[in-house]
Amino acid sequence: MNPARRAAHRSAQLAHEYSLFTLADATSPRGCRDFVRAALFTHDREPLGMPAALCTSELVTNVHLHAKGTAMLRIRLSPARLRVSVFDESPDPRRWRMCGGSRTGERGGSLRACGSSWARSNG
């Protein structure tokens, strides 16, 4: 796009969001990994493919193991950040437990990739 035609209030690249609904079963992690890799490939962000696939696999597997019903995978891709979130439709609250000095949940929260570091987020 010609920079002269771009609106002053819009950035050069907007964030992209994708969602996928899937059953919480044993085939879900692979389908969700493929979905994330395809979204990254579409936006020329292939170097993030393997770490994002690992994160996605962990989150979706937790839903498969600890929740019932369907899971929703949400990807938000901006120029500076990739956020992969997984939600389940279970009405049961998360059960937290202490493990190795850090707080971990059986139905996991979300993992956030910021550059080369990983962090867990509850929101």
CA dihedral sign, ordered 97, 103, 104, 105 = positive
Q: Which CATH superfamily is domain 15-121 in?
A: Histidine kinase-like ATPase, C-terminal domain (3.30.565.10)
Please name the helix (run of DSSP H) or strand (run of DSSP E) that holds residue 22, with its range, or none: strand 16-23
> What's the token pair of residue 84?
């992969």
Going from N- to C-terminal start, the domains of the chain cover: 15-121
Of 51, 25, 28, residue with least CA distance to 40: 51
Categorize the per-residue pLDDT at 117 as very low, low, confident or very high, splitting at 50, 70 and 90: very low
Quickly tell me which residue has 């993992």 as its tokens: 111
- pLDDT tens digits, 64-105: 888 878 889 999 999 888 999 888 887 777 776 655 545 544
- Residue type for position 73: L
pLDDT > 70: what percent of the chain? 65
Which of residues 113 and 94 earns the better pLDDT score? 94
Is the pLDDT at 110 greater than 90? The verdict is no
- The HSE-up count of residue 39 (CA atoms within 13 Å, CB side) is 24
Report helix, strand or coil for 100. coil
Rounded to two decimals, the pTM is 0.68
Neighbour count for residue 21 (Cβ, 10 Å): 10
